[in-house]
């Protein structure tokens, strides 16, 4: 089954909070979206400051959102509401065990684009949990 890919402009907003700090990052990417009645797939490539790349594949269904990253950073994490999931997060300096408890997953679509929202808590290597809010907004390119 092949899905037709449509180019999209992506804005990724991430907020990470712990007891003392709040980090907020806003990134912009060119990517693609493809889908059918059962799933939506969003892909994009991120260039890191050291000329390495990370490819992201986000698969969205009614049951979960899965984020697979490969390249300089790799992980394969599922976000399922009210569920604890685990994965191995690998980067150039080593690997970390990642436990994720997802509070909310939401995908809203319009004719010209949409928005994916993930609210979750992450523990890396058993450290204190940090609250994460990820909002990925996409808009189809004008033809």
pLDDT by residue for the chain (143 residues), tens only, comes to 457 899 999 999 999 998 889 999 999 999 999 998 899 999 999 988 878 899 999 999 999 999 999 999 999 999 999 999 999 999 888 999 999 999 999 999 998 999 999 999 999 988 889 999 999 999 998 76
pLDDT at 19: 82
Strands annotated E in the chain: 6-17, 22-35, 40-47, 53-60, 65-71, 75-79, 83-91, 94-109, 113-124, 130-140
In the CATH scheme, what architecture does the domain 6-140 have? Answer: Beta Barrel (2.40)
pLDDT at 1: 47
């Amino acid at each position: 089954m092949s899905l037709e890919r449509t180019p999209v402009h992506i804005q990724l907003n991430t907020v990470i909070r712990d007891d003392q700090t709040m980090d907020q990052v806003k990134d912009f990417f060119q990517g693609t979206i493809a889908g059918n009645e059962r799933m939506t797939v969003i892909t994009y490539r991120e260039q890191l400051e050291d000329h390495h790349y990370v490819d992201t594949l986000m698969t969205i269904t009614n049951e979960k959102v899965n984020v697979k990253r490969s390249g300089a950073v790799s992980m394969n994490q599922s976000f399922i509401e009210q569920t604890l999931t685990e994965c191995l997060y690998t980067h150039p300096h080593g690997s970390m065990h990642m436990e994720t408890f997802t509070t909310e997953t939401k995908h809203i679509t319009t004719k010209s684009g949409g928005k994916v929202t993930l609210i979750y808590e992450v523990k890396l290597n058993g450290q204190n949990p940090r609250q994460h809010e990820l909002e990925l907004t996409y808009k189809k390119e004008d033809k």
